[in-house]
A and B are shown apart, each in its own frame.
Chain A
Amino acid sequence: MLKVFYCVLSRDITLALRRRTDVLTTLFFFIIVVSLFPLGVGSEREQLRMLGPGVVWVAALLASMLALERLFAADYDDGTLEQLLLTGQPLALLVLGKVVAHWLLTGLPLVLIAPLVAMQYHLSGTAIWVMMAALALGTPVLSLIGAIGAALTLGLRGGGILLSLLILPLYVPVLVYGAGAVSVSAIEIADTQPYFYLLSAFLMGSALLAPLAAAAALRISLE
């Protein structure tokens, strides 16, 4: 079982590393969106410090959503996905492998670049650490939930826009508690604990349920 998981994971990562621009596009999209806000709302330090957590999280939501389209699309186009369905291995496990690979390529870079964009918003040192931890817990949830939407919209025209309509409302809890943790850390660091409990709970729940739902969605889409 683990072997299958590892096999899908390493295959997807190898493929992606041979086309590095895809990974970098998501990353630069994130940086550009975050950099645009101060140009729009003004560059006053206090104001930016207030807006920072929310802006970074919304940008992370959009970046991870844009990358989702590619989660199954290439495999769907060249028929690999059908072969995966026919392998006789548990489909949810294969989906989980693909999602983990997807997160390593699009979510993890966002976590690592977060300190840089946080500095644009004059966030304090503790806030930056909290933001990295919250993103590390929250972005996998985004990839997991998003996989369901990506599987449902497979091969549809205008799939990208449709995908955003389907899954952005489902991202709300992660956004609320992810950004909330960073905001609260500026006041009292101990208060961030319940936020992390909730984010961890979301991660556990979605890691358990989302691959099953995404596998069911793939079966529906490929019937």
Chain B
Amino acid sequence: MTINWFKFASPAAFYPIAGRLIPWFSRVALALVLIGLFWGFFLTADQLGGSNPQKEYYRIIYVHVPAAWMSMWLYLVLAGWSAIGLVFNTRLSFMMAKAVAPTGAIFTFLALWTGALWGRPSWGTYWDWDPRLTSELLLFFLYIGYIALHSAIDDTRRADRAAALLAIVGLVMVPVIFLSINCPDPNQCAALHQRSDPGSIHLSILIPMLTMTLGLWSYSFAAVFARLRTIILTRESDNAWVRDVIAQETTA
């Protein structure tokens, strides 16, 4: 049996599937986010121990950390679909990349916002040039650059390919940018290096955090597919099947 790897790379084939998947991803997202938030906000200890004890306000990590994880993961997804699009020249890959960008930017903004809200009680300031916050800010700029370049070019094909190349260049630069932010003084890198080891997080905190992450991931699928369907309809509007779909949906 040969597998046709490109079967769902056709926008016409993927459009109905995306439509059927959206409700499921939305339901899973809603359920997981509600469970994760309830668990994190009401069922975990109201104080974080260790050398830096924190009271109730630490609970913002149940939103902050999953949002930050998703923002970084979605940039990988964005660059990945961009690379696939450039290599295989599949239209749907570029549409996917374009659909992912706003969701990624929103999560980056959410991570920055919740970071600022957490910073106020714990550092006494909304903004500090903490390496993690600064990295997240730079990631936000990269997302904005992608979206701005894509929308500045009228020709769809050029916009797709130019933005895809930018995403890949950004991906190559990201490790260097993060290194320079994390370690501005190479003489003392070892001392300044930040350790964020998931294994060092207590399980009672890690599990609700992962639940939230899966919930936000599910939400990303739903939001991206919804955006993707609009992009498909706009771009394929010359085709007969799009006219059929629109005729169906307007009569239904």
**Chain A bound to chain B:** yes
| B170 interface hit (Cβ, 8 Å) | yes
Interface residues of B in 159-199 (CB under 8 A from A): 161-162, 165-166, 168-170, 172-173, 176-177, 179-181, 184-187
Q: CA separation between A166 and B184, bound complex, in Å?
A: 22
| A125 interface hit (Cβ, 8 Å) | no
A73 → chain B, closest Cβ, in Å?
A: 15
* Chain A: CB-nearest residue to B135: A172
B: number of interface residues (CB 8 Å): 29
State whether B187 touches A148 (Cβ < 8 A). Answer: no
Residue among A156, A157, A180, A213 making CB contact with B169, cutoff 8 Å: A213
State whether A173 touches B180 (Cβ < 8 A). Answer: yes
Quick check: which of A1-9, A40-48, A191-199 contacts chain B, the rest being far away? A191-199
Which residues from B are CB-within-8-Å of A153? 149, 152
Residue among B149, B165, B181 making CB contact with A162, cutoff 8 Å: B149
Name the prevailing secondary structure of the A interface residues: helix
Map CB proximity to A onto B124-161 as digits: 1 under 8 Å, 0 otherwise.
00000000000000100110110011001100011001
| A58 interface hit (Cβ, 8 Å) | no
Q: CA separation between A196 and B189, bound complex, in Å?
A: 15
Q: How large is the interface on A (under 10, 10 to 19, 20 to 34, 35 or more residues)?
A: 20 to 34
Which residues from B are CB-within-8-Å of A148? 165-166, 169
Residue among A145, A195, A217 making CB contact with B162, cutoff 8 Å: A217
Q: CA separation between A126 and B215, bound complex, in Å?
A: 56
Apart from A166-B145, A166-B149, A194-B187: 17 A-B pairs, beta carbons within 8 A: A152-B149, A152-B162, A152-B165, A169-B142, A170-B170, A172-B138, A172-B180, A172-B181, A173-B176, A173-B179, A176-B181, A184-B187, A197-B186, A198-B186, A202-B176, A213-B168, A217-B165
B interface with A by C-beta (< 8 Å): 138, 141-142, 144-145, 148-149, 152-153, 157-158, 161-162, 165-166, 168-170, 172-173, 176-177, 179-181, 184-187
A-B contact pairs, 13 of them (CB 8 A): A148-B166, A148-B169, A153-B149, A156-B152, A157-B152, A162-B149, A170-B173, A177-B180, A209-B172, A213-B165, A217-B165, A221-B158, A223-B157
